[in-house]
């Protein structure tokens, strides 16, 4: 039979409680995840505005009338926002994502990959050309992701993430998906390998790197000095 008696904290635990009580200075409450998501989206919009000022692809208006392209853009945007929302929830203990939300985010990412797979493949491009055109896209993806990524990581670090690697991966996924979306507004190439390698791999690599950073950096909330 299970032991249901009420255990009593030890003297040293009671002393610890007293110390914590004495250290109970006012704290600034963390904003709700939705409020922080809104702030992050404003920040991302500013980055997007900078991209717009620096020049988008000349045929963007025409491309947006293409339902496949539009679907790709919407899928990237929604997947990024879902991951960013989940990232901010990770900073608050006790939040649990519903399977439907996980499924939707994963489905949107898979949809994007499928849409990229459905693009034509240009066999006449040499390896040198492939790399020369692609490296620039990958570099710009990383540059566009950098600030939103840092903002997300700092946003999570302000809280108490219980699964730091997952929070890091989500932050990286959200930021790099948003960067991939912005790159699709800039890059005029519609070629399967180019999209999968130079637009897709930075997203996967960014999420993986972010998971490692999260594991190291985001777990430190438990050892930081009291407020």
Residue numbers at the binding site for another protein (CB under 8 A): 3-4, 6-10, 12-30, 32-33, 82, 85-86, 89, 91-98, 100-101, 104-105, 159-160, 162, 221-227
- Cα–Cα distance, 117 to 89 (Å, whole number): 32
CB of 122 to another protein, least distance (A): 37
Nearer to another protein, 13 or 129 (CB): 13
- Cα–Cα distance, 78 to 45 (Å, whole number): 14
Nearer to another protein, 16 or 71 (CB): 16
Burial 188-218 (b: 16+ CB within 10 A, else e): ebbbebbbebbbbebbeebbebbbebbbebb
**CA angle 76-80-84, nearest 5°?**
175
Nearer to another protein, 53 or 223 (CB): 223
- Cα–Cα distance, 176 to 149 (Å, whole number): 8
- Cα–Cα distance, 175 to 81 (Å, whole number): 9
CB of 87 to another protein, least distance (A): 10
- Cα–Cα distance, 193 to 116 (Å, whole number): 8
Nearer to another protein, 27 or 53 (CB): 27
Nearer to another protein, 19 or 64 (CB): 19
CB of 45 to another protein, least distance (A): 19
CB of 30 to another protein, least distance (A): 5
Nearer to another protein, 14 or 46 (CB): 14
CB of 103 to another protein, least distance (A): 11
Please give the C-alpha separations between residue 96 and each of 7, 90, 104, 204, in angstroms, as whole numbers. Answer: 29, 8, 15, 24
CB of 43 to another protein, least distance (A): 19
Query: What are φ and ψ of residue 3, in 5° steps?
Result: -80, 115
């Amino acid at each position: 039979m299970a032991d249901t008696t009420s255990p009593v904290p030890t003297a040293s635990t009671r002393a610890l409680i007293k110390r914590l009580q004495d250290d109970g200075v006012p704290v600034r409450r963390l904003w709700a995840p939705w409020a922080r998501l809104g702030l992050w989206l404003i920040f991302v919009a500013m980055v997007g505005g900078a991209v717009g000022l620096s020049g988008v692809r000349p045929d963007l208006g025409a491309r947006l009338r293409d339902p496949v392209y539009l679907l790709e853009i919407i899928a990237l945007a929604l997947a990024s926002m879902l991951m960013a929302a989940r990232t901010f929830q990770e900073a608050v203990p006790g939040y649990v994502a519903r399977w439907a939300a996980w499924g939707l985010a994963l489905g949107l990412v898979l949809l994007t990959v499928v849409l990229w797979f459905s693009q034509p493949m240009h066999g006449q491009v040499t390896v040198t050309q492939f790399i020369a055109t692609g490296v620039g896209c990958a570099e710009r993806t990383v540059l566009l992701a950098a600030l939103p990524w840092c903002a997300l990581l700092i946003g999570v670090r302000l809280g108490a993430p219980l699964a730091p690697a997952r929070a890091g991966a989500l932050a990286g996924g959200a930021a790099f998906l948003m960067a991939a979306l912005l790159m699709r507004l800039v890059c005029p190439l519609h070629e399967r390998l180019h999209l999968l390698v130079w637009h897709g791999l930075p997203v996967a690599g960014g999420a993986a790197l972010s998971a490692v950073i999260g594991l190291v950096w985001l777990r430190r909330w438990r050892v930081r000095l009291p407020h």
